[in-house]
Amino acid sequence: METRETFAGLSTWQIALWYTLIVISTSIFAWGVIRLVIKYRRGRGSFPVDRPLHRAGRTAWIVFTHAWIKRRDGVAGLAHAMIFYGFVVLFIGTGILAFQDDFARPILGWDFWQGPFYLVYSLFLDVFGAFLIIGLVILGVKRARKPKRLDYTRVDGVTSRYARWRYKVGDWVFVDSLLFLGVTGFFLEALRIAETDPPFEKWSPVGWVVGQGLIAIGVDGETASAAHFRSWWVHGVAALTFVAAIPFTKAVHMMAAPASVATRNDRASKELVGLPPNAKPEEVGYGVVTDMTPAHLLQLDACTKCGKCHEACPATASGYPLSPRDLVLDLREQSEGALGIRGWLTVPPLFHSDENLLGNPIRPETVWSCMQCMACVEICPVGIEHVPIINNLRRRLVDKGEMDSQLQTTLETIYESGNSFGEPKRKRGRWAKELDFEVKDARKEPVDVLWFVGDFASLDPRNIRVTQALARILHHAGVDFGILYEGERNAGNDVRRVGEEGLFTDLAESNIEAISACEFSRILTSDPHSFNTLKNEYPALGGSWDVVHHSQFLLELFQSGALTAGRSLGRRVTYHDPCTLGRYNGVYDEPRALIAATGCELIEMQRVRDNSFCCGAGGGRIWMSELKAPDAPRPSESRMHEATALDRVSTFVVCCPKDVTMYEDAVKTSGHEGEIEVRELTELVLESLDFEPVALAATAD
Amino acid sequence: MKTVVCIKQVLQLGDEVEFTDDGLDVDPDYLDPALNEWDSFATEEALQLRERLGGEVVLVTCGSKASEAALRRCLAMGADRAIRIEGVDRDPFSVARALAEVVSAENADLVLCGVQSSDAVQAATGTALAELLDLPRAAVVTKVDYDAGARTAVVDRELEGGLVDRVEIDTPAVLTIQTGINEPRYANLRAIKQAEQVEIDVRNAAGGGAPAYRVRKMFVPDRGEGAEMIDGSPAEIAARIASIVKERLV
């Protein structure tokens, strides 16, 4: 019968030694895992356990399909899948063998590891073992080519307490130790085959081919047997060492990454988590490492330094002192140095659990550089929530009043006047007075559509033109709509992203009160930032409505026949996905369909949809002084270079008021004046409609 | 070290304005309330003195219940307690009299006011308060160096043309604080909300004493004629001015 002896050539005491080593290795592994769990439990709060089936299903899907890992780097995804499935199959194979040797045979007297089962088992393990090695070689070659995103040089010029070269060593040790295990495994198999050359071992094709090679050079019989004995111990001890090292090395991601995916918040970034009621200062955001939630602490360990966030981040790309990867590594070093094994063994660099998270090496400027654009969160293959983590760091700074003076003034202005421009309340609805029809006051009469206009669209002269264009279109299409006039305040989306949670709540509550007093069927917003917070964050505060962005609403009007394009514009245009509309809310197709409806030809930029590149205004950055390197282009300028490099594109289409401002400015400052013009989607639609809007009496600008 | 800070909730005007029917005031619909800018600097200065020397920061304001918003903001910055005096006329003398009554009972080591309020722009209340309390005063202060042992303070006063007047003043004293003396800390909304739980000591003004003035009429002045620019040599300009003066005198 086809099979083999598991412990061929080992004496009883050697087998006993082997099992002792297994116990030692497993104990070290278990101790390491327990230390990690203890570390995470030092965080504030507990792991989320809601909807366990959904979480388990999602995790299984993401892990087994590699849905997140393969994004934007298919080769790495495929190679990782080969390693992953190679490892999984070899692990299961070892499990089957252990079950046979330590349970089925001695206790049940059942020998199943023979005959056809043995042959198929051998084939499976051989093929997947080969996958493991091929995958490792591919990733090793990619790494050896030194891609920019795997260069761990800090972007902020600060010296880490934990030297970054150690990460490179760790990466190579990880790849090479797996490779060593794979290669010695095959070598071992080949020596075993070479010893007696059983014909059925053709079912282990890789081992058989190598075995034949060994026989050909005279390594067979006793020679092969002796070499097999030595190799067996080398491979075995290496494997047990690897197992013991998992919780302490890069290999920890094999456990931490699925756990991170399982415990992460599905709505991370687009709905930030509020403060506990009557929060004390030490409960506001993150000041020390134990303020972090267990899930966030776990996420830090899940990071594999793949650099996808680093590559996607507009702040990193524009010379700001922030890289999401650097931040995660810094925080990981702090949590490990304060709460983890490093702290326990007092191995420097140590951190103290009551040490401020900000100061050395993470500077406040790093935290303020973030645009909260969600590019990092969206691409992270292990589910790290950089945006909420940064937001929590900001919350503590805001609570202590440690912020840019310009930002402080803006927040005070918003608190006092309800808008970031410091304009009197009455001015909010003034744009409507300049129209040749009346815009209903939704506070005084029922409307079908309650239009929440937003600060920029209400008060910025350039954006008022867009707002008036939208009002004309709605009027033309016969939509029954109204606005809140001075009853509307800043929606609070960016105030919340800045970290001023109290002011956000104040704004949201007063808007919810104003909106709730009106009679309407749905809410229209002309600002993606307001759209996000009304749609995703107001429900938790008691305001749940059907909220649509104007790109969605206008498309509906086209589809229902309320609007028909009278003329085909025939422009070649490109379109910029606003972060809060696209990545935050998945609205990618409606604006594109609208562009098509106006008869424009859409030429896409390189960074589109989920990979869209932030204009630089998000996360309250528009209210702060500049932090980028002086010689680096602003995010909006780099976007302009990207758009103007397209072939004969005349128009840069946006559908966010902040984008209008940012990009009109960037056209001039990036030296592309005259090459391209910025148009709000609404303006494009108005231009395409078959009606002549009456000239405005006194438009701004 | 006890510091009393007198603050005011001002009413800010937009670029649109309507008056009440009696023509004596601006229609409240056209006004947005806010903490007077100078007073946030005065409060910050008091808080910094407390941080250095310990003690207490007490806020006092004159105004209706609505003006408590300004007190709450200063409480959120870190002041210890607040007093609001009701039923006070708006002119500086009436305000100073009401304040004097409350402030004198506090026996403060230092009394801080803003230089002026941004809506009335009289710059009179602080000085009048000092007079009523019979305390030394320094106006337009840009630096305070307080010596608790000697009970004196060396203060810088901002003069015209960028000059600084450094004076030593016996304390207790009344100082009117200029903007820019410090960087007022941010009163976050969490702290403001928590300050809503703080009970504000509400007093009624004793009354008595005539107001400094009465408003007869509030209006937007008629737009004047454009100015005439006179070119030429000094002699020609002088001749032209002389002829204008003659013309107008007739």
pLDDT at A491: 98
Please indicate, yes or no, whether residues A538 and A411 belong to a single structural domain of this protein.
yes
pLDDT at B64: 95
When CB atoms are compared, the residue of B30, B34, B183 closest to A416 is B34
**Of the ranges A31-40, A161-170, A201-210, A691-700, which one carries the lowest mean pLDDT score?**
A691-700
Residue A8 clears pLDDT 90, i.e. is over it: no
Q: Tell me if B89 is assigned to some domain.
A: yes
How many cross-chain Cβ pairs, A to B, lie less than 8 Å apart?
57
Q: Tell me if B49 is assigned to some domain.
A: yes
Please, how many CA atoms are within 13 Å of residue A75, restricted to the half-sphere of its CB? 9
Q: The tokens of A15 are what?
A: 């087998």
Q: Tell me if A136 is assigned to some domain.
A: no
Sequential DSSP letters for chain B: -EEEEEE-EEEEE-S---B-TTSSSB-GGGEEEEE-HHHHHHHHHHHHHHHHH--EEEEEEES-GGGHHHHHHHHHHT-SEEEEEES--SSHHHHHHHHHHHHHHHT-SEEEEES--TTT----HHHHHHHHHT--EEEEEEEEEEETTTTEEEEEEE-GGG-EEEEEEESS-EEEEPTTSS-PPP--HHHHHHHTTSPPEEEE----S--S-------PPPPPPPPPP--S-HHHHHHHHHHHHHHHH-
A275 touches chain B (CB under 8 A): yes
Residue A696 clears pLDDT 80, i.e. is over it: no
Share of chain A above pLDDT 90, in %: 94
pLDDT at A306: 96
In this prediction, residue A360 has a pLDDT band, given cuts at 50, 70 and 90, of confident
Q: Tell me if B26 is assigned to some domain.
A: yes
**Of the ranges A248-262, A511-525, A618-632, A679-693, which one carries the lowest mean pLDDT score?**
A679-693
Q: Tell me if B192 is assigned to some domain.
A: yes
Q: Tell me if A536 is assigned to some domain.
A: yes
Q: Do A275 and B191 touch (CB under 8 A)?
A: no
A425 touches chain B (CB under 8 A): yes
A505 touches chain B (CB under 8 A): yes
Residue A390: closest CA among A459, A301, A450, A328: A328
Please indicate, yes or no, whether residues A442 and A564 belong to a single structural domain of this protein.
yes
Residue A243 clears pLDDT 90, i.e. is over it: yes
Residues of B in contact with A424 (CB under 8 A): 12-16, 30, 32
A412 touches chain B (CB under 8 A): yes
Number of domains in chain A: 3
Residue A113 clears pLDDT 60, i.e. is over it: yes
Residue A328: closest CA among A271, A389, A267: A389
**A318-354 per-position pLDDT tens digit:** 999 999 999 999 999 999 999 999 999 999 899 999 9
Q: Tell me if A93 is assigned to some domain.
A: no
Alpha carbon A163 to its chain centroid, in Å, reads: 25
Q: Are A419 and A463 in contact (CB under 8 A)?
A: no
**A430-478 per-position pLDDT tens digit:** 999 999 999 999 999 999 999 999 999 999 999 999 999 999 999 999 9
Q: Tell me if A81 is assigned to some domain.
A: no
**B182-240 per-position pLDDT tens digit:** 999 999 999 999 999 999 999 998 877 888 888 999 998 888 777 888 888 999 999 99
Residues of A in contact with B76 (CB under 8 A): none
Q: Do B194 and A278 touch (CB under 8 A)?
A: yes
Q: How far apart are CA A282 and CA A296, in angstroms?
A: 18
When CB atoms are compared, the residue of A278, A405, A506 closest to B189 is A506
Distances (CA, A) of A591 to A496, A535, A555, A595: 26, 18, 8, 6
Domain range enclosing A347? 277-399
Number of domains in chain B: 1
Give the pLDDT mean for B237-249: 90
CATH code for the domain in which residue B181 is found: 3.40.50.620
pLDDT at A692: 66
**Of the ranges A86-100, A509-523, B95-109, B224-238, which one carries the lowest mean pLDDT score?**
B224-238
pLDDT at B172: 96
| Nearest CA distance, B185 vs chain A (angstrom) | 6
A434 touches chain B (CB under 8 A): no
Residues of A in contact with B188 (CB under 8 A): 398-399, 401, 500, 502-503
Q: Do B188 and A503 touch (CB under 8 A)?
A: yes
pLDDT at A701: 40
Q: Do B33 and A416 touch (CB under 8 A)?
A: yes
Q: Tell me if B91 is assigned to some domain.
A: yes
Q: Do A503 and B33 touch (CB under 8 A)?
A: no
Residue A2 clears pLDDT 90, i.e. is over it: no
**B103-129 per-position pLDDT tens digit:** 999 999 999 999 999 999 999 999 999
Distances (CA, A) of B179 to A354, B3, B115, B184: 37, 18, 8, 9
In this prediction, residue A693 has a pLDDT band, given cuts at 50, 70 and 90, of low
Residue A698 clears pLDDT 50, i.e. is over it: no
Does the N-terminal peptide bond of residue A277 adopt cis geometry, omega within 30 degrees of 0? no
A500 touches chain B (CB under 8 A): yes
**A244-285 per-position pLDDT tens digit:** 999 999 999 999 999 999 999 999 999 999 999 889 999 999
Question: Of A378, A399, A420, which one is at a domain's C-terminal end?
Answer: A399
Residues of A in contact with B118 (CB under 8 A): none
Q: Tell me if B74 is assigned to some domain.
A: yes
Q: The tokens of A596 are what?
A: 């098509």
Q: The tokens of A105 are what?
A: 């045979």
Q: Are B123 and B139 in contact (CB under 8 A)?
A: yes
- Matching residue, tokens 């509400």: B202
The pLDDT mean for chain B works out to 93
Q: Do B14 and A424 touch (CB under 8 A)?
A: yes
A212 touches chain B (CB under 8 A): no
